Structure 1
Amino acid sequence: MATIRKRVRKDGTASYQVRWLQGGRGGTWEAERFEDVEQADAFKKLVDAHKQQWPYGWVPGQGFVEPEQNPDDVLLTDWARRYVDRLTGIDLRTRDDYRREVDRHISLMVHTNRSGLVMPATIGNITADDVQDWVRLQEAGQPDAKAGRWVRRPASPKSTANRHGLLWCIVQAAIDADPPLRTKNCCANTRLPRVDDGTSEEMVFLEQEEYQLLRKCLLDPAARDLADWLIGTGMRWGEATALQVQDLRLGGPVPTANVQRAWKRSPRGAQSSFFLGPPKTKKARRLVALAPTQVDLAQKLTHGMPSDAFVFRTPTGKAWRHANFYNRKWIPAVAAAMETGLPRQPRIHDLRHTHVAWLVAANIPLPAIQARLGHESIQTTIDRYGHLVRALDSDISAAVQAAMGGQPPSDRGLRLVGA
């Protein structure tokens, strides 16, 4: 272990020398001098923590020295805005949302150097520790001095993960820049809050009788038709309400609906709140096979309508808006259904989740479900719905029983540690 030696000068002042064998017994003697005993003790603890080595980043006689700053280094928020503004392949609303994430959340990051000094974050100086501190800030929020209020509310694990993903891309762009602004992505090994830390599931899955109870409470036939379509096809709200007559192929051996557009939110300040754009991802462009009940519904709704007419329309003949459906149709129906025995409070998007649960219960393979839902990756399907796959439970139990010789497990041949 390192030791501290006090040295008294001729003028009566003292200095403190920390001495240690570099690497432990058998190494060479190293020393560092301090004018303050508390600083010497802090350094001694660092040497011991580094197993009798010079602390990483410590320069003898100078202390912790920050690496020389890249002359092209810029503030993190400035680089992040530059990155977002140069992204291609995203719609205007997504770019607007990214800018808001940068200004409201990524801008909170600061850099703390090894001596504890807090300074503005740049794209070149942020470290893995800075990122972890920022994640903790997202998780904890910032309470107000007034009880029960927040300056900044705690972020959900999903929101934190989404913001961290954006930050990862921003930092990676600095690595890929010419010339590079840094050599390592400090977001690579961040420990994020678990998305499933809650005690209740985020998704709601309805049994068939539960949906029928909810359906009866949707008193508007147009709203009921749309709910039937959502739960019967698994389409997203923005996809189903953007369907036009020309997207349907109701004849032939396999009737289909062609998902090729979806409603998008306009950037803030635009005259119109929504516009028609491409689906969420490339694989969201897909053909969805229709069951006979959906074919009958589509024929009823589109008979005599022009090709560019929307399949699902309000009683006044206009395209559905989410807020209108949610506030005037969905919320009253859910409340009425819960008063008559519905044990869950589903969201509109839970009709899509319920559709998947019904397919899983019918032993439809997850890759087929991925294609039907338009998930970009099979991993998304597995992460969200893999826990529902129970079809092989009996086979797994039988395999375990066979491996154990058909006998119940026993403790023969086992003993407690220390017994």
Structure 2
Amino acid sequence: MASIKRRDNADGTTTYRVRWQQGGRTGGWESEKFGDATLAEEFKKLVDAHGQQWPPGWVKGKGFVQETAVDGDMPLTDWAHRYVDRLTGIDERTRRDYKRDIDNHFAIIRHTQPSGLIVDATIANVSADDIQDWVRAEEAGERDPGNPETWLRRKSSPKSIANRHGLLSAIVQAAVVADPPLRSKNCCTGTRLPRVDDGIDDEMCFLEHDEYARIAAEIEDPHARDLADWLVGTGMRWGEATALQVRDVSLARSTVSVQRAWKRSAPGDVGPSYFLGPPKTKRARRVIALSPLQMDMLRRRMAGKRPEDLLFETPRGKSWRHDNFWRRRWVPAVEAAIAKGLPKRPRIHDLRHTHVAWLIAERIPLPAIQARLGHESITTTVDRYGHLVQALDGEIRAAVEAAMGSPTAAPGIRRVM
């Protein structure tokens, strides 16, 4: 007799596996998996009715339901790899990161057929329900059944899920517009994603002026102090700031031009682990206006250097590495400031967020901030920092008051507030 084994998955779903010995006790073990208990029970009865044999016409993993074959269809991960391999305008590190997400996260996507059978996902069969199930699995993670304290796959943050979903949507869309098309529509459209601000703690840390001053006072190395002041004073990314060269400075215009950034080499590449490449995006190539104090600091650092020399270097004249700065300069300074009463524990990248908060406090418009930060889209700027603009509420109320309470209003029209 066939049997049914139930399994409660970490993502909240349940699967039912029907198991039997082919032909009776002498045959090998066979099994079929379902996502519905009723379907599993019906299939078990079919196996028993046919003498512990596969029901005639039943295809393992597919059932009696004949899904229309699509010419050119292939496993979802294979299509995804092909898509990423053909992308242009990205560096090899980004390509490698995309492939890592495909192998570690997209590979868990499964397709549930109308019959309830769970089969491998292909670029043609993956559905909106499959994508929603995948999002839930990403949220929940997966623990080791043999050791509940160990994660087979850790929970993913809302931001990580959103980023991967965006990549997945682009991959599926490529199948929609393919010639000939492999799909009629994008199954990622309309997916309900977890809110990025669902967590208790803010992902970004914003420092007040005196809070940053507390940290800066604990950085004893003047080279490291200059770099920290630069990061919080310009909002530049770490890889951009540490790649600046003397020739990028305009003394006449009091500006600095962002032309390059540090990139990490792919594993196995011959040569240094880091190299200078283009900035993150096209808009990341930008010109940043500087204050007189910042120009004074640059003049001091430019003295005696050649045009191709780095502006920010270690005391030994080497290029800064994020891990070295973080471990030897930033963390000790932050911990010392915390010991003296600092209520926050910022990361190095939070200096960029802090810079934006200071600009918004001075009523700098978001489009101007977008250009200064090098964001590809104003949407990115609004999504990350729009909530800080509440400081303008007073000006907004005054504008509404002036517009709605105009003395030129037609007689008989009552002011609406």
Give the TM-score category using the shorter length.
0.7 to 0.9
Quote how far apart the aligned CAs of 1:304 are: 1.2
Quote how far apart the aligned CAs of 1:64 are: 8.1
Residue aligning to 1:267: 266
Verify the 8 A CA contact 2:71 2:182 in the aligned structure 1: no
Residue aligning to 2:91: 91
In the alignment, the residues of structure 2 paired with residue 339 and residue 67 of structure 1 have an alpha-carbon distance, to the nearest angstrom, of 65
Quote how far apart the aligned CAs of 1:147 are: 3.1
1:249 maps onto 2:250 in alignment: yes
Runs of 5+ consecutive residues of structure 2 not aligned to the other structure: 1-37, 43-62, 406-417
Quote how far apart the aligned CAs of 1:398 are: 5.3
Quote how far apart the aligned CAs of 1:66 are: 4.5
Write out aligned runs for 1:12-411 (5 A).
65-145=65-145, 146-251=147-252, 254-271=253-270, 272-397=272-397
In the alignment, the residues of structure 2 paired with residue 147 and residue 172 of structure 1 have an alpha-carbon distance, to the nearest angstrom, of 38
Quote how far apart the aligned CAs of 1:400 are: 7.5
Moved more, 139-148 or 366-375: 139-148
In the alignment, the residues of structure 2 paired with residue 363 and residue 370 of structure 1 have an alpha-carbon distance, to the nearest angstrom, of 14
In the alignment, the residues of structure 2 paired with residue 66 and residue 156 of structure 1 have an alpha-carbon distance, to the nearest angstrom, of 38
In the alignment, the residues of structure 1 paired with residue 149 and residue 113 of structure 2 have an alpha-carbon distance, to the nearest angstrom, of 34
In the alignment, the residues of structure 2 paired with residue 235 and residue 398 of structure 1 have an alpha-carbon distance, to the nearest angstrom, of 34
The amino acid of 2:132's aligned partner reads: Q
Quote how far apart the aligned CAs of 1:71 are: 2.8
In the alignment, the residues of structure 2 paired with residue 402 and residue 316 of structure 1 have an alpha-carbon distance, to the nearest angstrom, of 60
The amino acid of 1:131's aligned partner reads: I
Verify the 8 A CA contact 2:361 2:391 in the aligned structure 1: yes
TM-score in terms of structure 2 length? 0.79
Quote how far apart the aligned CAs of 1:148 are: 2.1
Verify the 8 A CA contact 1:142 1:153 in the aligned structure 2: yes
State the secondary structure of the residue aligned to 1:190: coil
In the alignment, the residues of structure 2 paired with residue 375 and residue 70 of structure 1 have an alpha-carbon distance, to the nearest angstrom, of 40
Q: For each residue in 1:157-201, what CA deviation from the matched residue of structure 2 results, as whole angstroms up to 9, or x when unmatched?
A: 111111111111111111111111111100011101111101221
Verify the 8 A CA contact 2:363 2:392 in the aligned structure 1: no
Verify the 8 A CA contact 1:261 1:279 in the aligned structure 2: yes
Q: For each residue in 1:40-97, what CA deviation from the matched residue of structure 2 results, as whole angstroms up to 9, or x when unmatched?
A: xx9xxxxxxxxxxxxxxxxxxxx98443111321111111111111111111111111
Give the 3 Å change call, closer, same or farther, for CA 233–403 of structure 1 in structure 2: closer
Q: For each residue in 1:194-222, what CA deviation from the matched residue of structure 2 results, as whole angstroms up to 9, or x when unmatched?
A: 11101221111111111111001111111
Q: Which has the higher Rg, Structure 1 or Structure 2? A: 1
Residue aligning to 1:9: none
Runs of 5+ consecutive residues of structure 1 not aligned to the other structure: 1-37, 43-62, 406-419
In the alignment, the residues of structure 1 paired with residue 247 and residue 395 of structure 2 have an alpha-carbon distance, to the nearest angstrom, of 46
State the secondary structure of the residue aligned to 1:154: coil
Give the 3 Å change call, closer, same or farther, for CA 83–237 of structure 1 in structure 2: same
In the alignment, the residues of structure 2 paired with residue 307 and residue 391 of structure 1 have an alpha-carbon distance, to the nearest angstrom, of 42
The amino acid of 2:99's aligned partner reads: R
Verify the 8 A CA contact 1:66 1:113 in the aligned structure 2: no
State the secondary structure of the residue aligned to 2:148: coil
Verify the 8 A CA contact 1:330 1:348 in the aligned structure 2: yes
Verify the 8 A CA contact 1:64 1:114 in the aligned structure 2: no
State the secondary structure of the residue aligned to 2:283: helix
Residue aligning to 1:59: none
Q: For each residue in 1:91-115, what CA deviation from the matched residue of structure 2 results, as whole angstroms up to 9, or x when unmatched?
A: 1111111111111110111111011
In the alignment, the residues of structure 2 paired with residue 159 and residue 172 of structure 1 have an alpha-carbon distance, to the nearest angstrom, of 20
In the alignment, the residues of structure 1 paired with residue 394 and residue 82 of structure 2 have an alpha-carbon distance, to the nearest angstrom, of 55
The amino acid of 1:205's aligned partner reads: F
Give the 3 Å change call, closer, same or farther, for CA 258–396 of structure 1 in structure 2: closer
In the alignment, the residues of structure 2 paired with residue 284 and residue 379 of structure 1 have an alpha-carbon distance, to the nearest angstrom, of 15
Q: For each residue in 1:385-409, what CA deviation from the matched residue of structure 2 results, as whole angstroms up to 9, or x when unmatched?
A: 111113431244457789999xxxx
In the alignment, the residues of structure 2 paired with residue 314 and residue 395 of structure 1 have an alpha-carbon distance, to the nearest angstrom, of 45
The amino acid of 1:75's aligned partner reads: P
TM-score in terms of structure 1 length? 0.79
The amino acid of 2:257's aligned partner reads: N
Verify the 8 A CA contact 2:144 2:152 in the aligned structure 1: yes
Q: For each residue in 1:321-374, what CA deviation from the matched residue of structure 2 results, as whole angstroms up to 9, or x when unmatched?
A: 111101111111111110011110001011111111111111111111111111
Q: For each residue in 1:210-260, what CA deviation from the matched residue of structure 2 results, as whole angstroms up to 9, or x when unmatched?
A: 111100111111100000111111111000000000000122xx3100000
In the alignment, the residues of structure 2 paired with residue 363 and residue 76 of structure 1 have an alpha-carbon distance, to the nearest angstrom, of 47
Quote how far apart the aligned CAs of 1:138 are: 0.5
State the secondary structure of the residue aligned to 1:284: coil
Alignment: residue pair count: 345
State the secondary structure of the residue aligned to 1:130: helix
Residue aligning to 2:16: none
Verify the 8 A CA contact 2:131 2:188 in the aligned structure 1: yes
Q: For each residue in 1:8-38, what CA deviation from the matched residue of structure 2 results, as whole angstroms up to 9, or x when unmatched?
A: xxxxxxxxxxxxxxxxxxxxxxxxxxxxxx7
Residue aligning to 1:22: none
